[in-house]
Amino acid sequence: MAITVYQNDLPAGLDLGPVVAVDTETMGLRTLRDRLCVVQLSSGDGNAHLVQFRSGTGYAAPNLKRLLENPKILKLFHFARFDLAALKQYLGADTTPVYCTRTASKLVRTFTDRHGLKDLCRDLIGVEISKQEQSSDWGAQDLT
């Protein structure tokens, strides 16, 4: 698995294919107060592409915004409501089309109240994922 970190935008011409998983990392859970730090993307090939926004550098990311708004690319989220709000607030992106795994789980897995990504991965594909880095300092200069 390769992890590539870009500063402030994706490189021009990067093709991640017709379906891209997207996740945002912010300084907290209030989009008007807590700044966007990182947007993570993957085409499902095991590689991750991270766009890091350092404090004070702004959010002009035309290549990332173009990908998010491309109607030919399906964007996969887990708990899309939060990520979409952050992407709209900071990038001005009207992200579409969108598929939210949390919403899908709530619609079809009515036998449970456990709709977190960790629960879905364990129950549906037998994979235990670590949430250890969930509380990382995503605003740090150097990501660990």
Q: Which helix (H) or strand (E) holds 3?
A: strand 3-7
What single DSSP character describes residue 121?
H
* 3-state SS, one letter per residue, for 8-69: CCCCCCCCCCCEEEEEEEECCCCCCCCCEEEEEEECCCCCEEEEECCCCCCCCCHHHHHHHH
Instruction: Write the burial class of residue 37 (CB in 10 Å: 0-12 exposed, 13-18 middle, 19+ buried).
Output: buried
Class of domain 3-101: alpha beta
How far apart are alpha carbons 102 and 98 in whole angstroms? Answer: 12
How far apart are alpha carbons 55 and 64 in whole angstroms? Answer: 18
Residue closest to 143 by CA, chosen among 2, 23, 5, 1: 5
Neighbouring residues of 114: CB distance < 8 A, sequence distance ≥ 6 = 123
Each domain of the chain, given as residue ranges in start order, spans 3-101
Q: What average pLDDT values come out for the chain (144 residues) when binned by 10 residues? A: 94 97 86 89 96 87 98 96 96 96 84 79 82 68 75
What pLDDT, on the 0 to 100 scale, is given for residue 135? Answer: 59
